[in-house]
Structure 1
Amino acid sequence: MVKVGIIGASGYAGAELYRLLLNHPHVEIVAISSQSYEGKMISHLYPSFYGVFDMIFTNDQEVIEKADMIFASLPHGLSEKYAKQCDEQGKKFIDLGADFRLDQEKDYQQWYQHDYQYPQLHEKQVYGLSEVNREQIKQASIIGNPGCYPTSITLGLYPLLKNHMHKDEKIIIDSKSGTTGAGKSLTEDTHFPKCNESFHPYKIASHRHTPEIEQELSKMAHQAVHVMFTPHLLPVNRGIISTIYVPLKDNVDFDDVYDIYQKTYQDEYFVRVLPKGQVADLKFVQYSNFCDISLHYDERYHQLIVVSTIDNMVKGAAGQAIQNMNLMYDLDEKEGLMMIPASF
């Protein structure tokens, strides 16, 4: 059994972690921590766990002491010190925050206004996009779990960029997320009277996921890739849907593109390339670890339109983290993640 601990377990991603891990046959949750709720039972915060998982929130050090596999679900700038402790003790660490996603410290400084506390740790980090970096993840001890928007976007573009079927032009990305993506702390935009019956863009041309998206897409294409990324807030609890517009090379046929996507993901259980004519819908991935992709062709402009949708709390956070843990421990990737989305 893998002894698992969760630091920052009172947030939405933390709650998703233990909701999913409770169904994992090879995991024992040994400790969970919360600074705000230390000493209180989980059901005090999330009544759905009453009588099912009555663990009490403890402190961060007890989590590291008891667990061999530590998940951290914390705001940026807080995870490095725990990663250092885990590294010194030979324990595995998966960060659901932003501290281990970017390769270059200058990007982290620019977009998150923080320096690396322990630069040597970042030489060990692996970007945890499971379907793309599988072999590196298996050997890693520190994983930077991808952001929710980047997960939907990178999986949506990977086959196209890997096979160099796109023109070397800016890619336009229009993404929408449910309100859980903003976390539990309220902002002006996430108060119910503001976000209910509303739909609006935010952080236009300035969202912190932009350098992560460009970094990973550039790796896939083996050349610099630039994006125009605009996120929007949907008045729903969970889910992300990204609509991506990509000019195709003149000699590229849409049928060839579709075939490449099918071949790339044919053995990937959690990525579903939908039949031609169907449109990916966030409703049919909610509460699951699936990424649904539909492909569409604008004949007038010879452009590919990719629609990629995930549950931001599962494939975009806790589910992908567990998928990465499974890889690190040579377990079946699907363990603990076999939830089927509801149909209505």
Structure 2
Amino acid sequence: MINSKDSISSFSFIFIVPIILFLHSCSESISEKELVEMEDVSFDYSLQFNDTDIMNSDSLYYQLTFDMVGIESLNMSIDINDLAYSSLQIVDIDSANQMLDGKLPVSAENMNIRVSFKQDNVIIAEDYHTIPKAVKLEVLSISSSLSDKYFDTLFAENKFVNNSNVIYDKFKKYDFSNTEVIILNDISSLSEKIIVELQRFLLNEGYIFVIMNNNIKENNELYYSLGYPKVKAVRGSTRNQFFSLDDKGFLEEHSFTSLDLVNQSEVYRYFQFKNDEKEFAKIMISTGDPLLLEKDILGGKIFFLTTKNDSDWSNKSFSLLLDNILDRVLFQRLLTDES
């Protein structure tokens, strides 16, 4: 049974702490049976915060799973920026793997969250989690055609993103000095001018997210200048077969609700690489090929998505998964700004 004084919410950081409390009395002898009963006291729990919630919501989702044995009750308290926010009494109901969840309000400032578990006013476990300050990330989406409004729609409700969507012009000289994240959406080739500017952008710790294009394999010099993977071929065929996905901890690190989308998403076609890029893979395809790469290049980061948000390349669930992937990348950038 859970007795709550206030409602609560959540964020994405996972810690699992087993706590075994041993009772001991020095004043009298204890039978072996009594000793076993006294030692059978434990409180095991996993507390998770769904960090990426803050990108599109005013609250942070959390989930507590616990199993307590031989303990009548514990007090769980949540402090935000050293001020008491909520308190719960957790009572043993002789049931393994109990769960409770809730939401925490998100403010515009940094939030330091402390969660403490107390027995008889003694702290037996506590941990800390930080929510970054709510600031606008300057994002520039460069597409081959303005007919692709995907990113305008995606970021419309995002509190952390100020997105501009432009058509790529190989003759234009770009200035990325006020940009933090660049999305290269289905661009078939890059001019020497923009390659130099992208290198300068990475040197300033910028983030680049690349949705690959069929013809980019003709531009293999990008392997040396921007770390582009060398494409061997496009594998798969429209809807005749599909491949499942496996998150290697990339999404799970900051979103414990993304697993269902990963399981529901299917890829029909993807870019297969000439070289082994698995060391950079964050999400894998069931064929053993990467779906998402993350590389540290020139002081910044560049991500490569090997399929498309297109009905000929992936199913509807993948469109939602791509939203999660981008939120995860943007949240990572927020953390970089905080450090």
Q: Greater helix share, 1 or 2?
A: 1
Q: Which has the higher contact order (CA 8 A, sep 6+)?
A: 1
Q: Which is strand-richer, 1 or 2?
A: 2
Q: TM-score, normalised by structure 2?
A: 0.33
TM-score normalised by the chain length of structure 1: 0.33
Larger Rg: 2
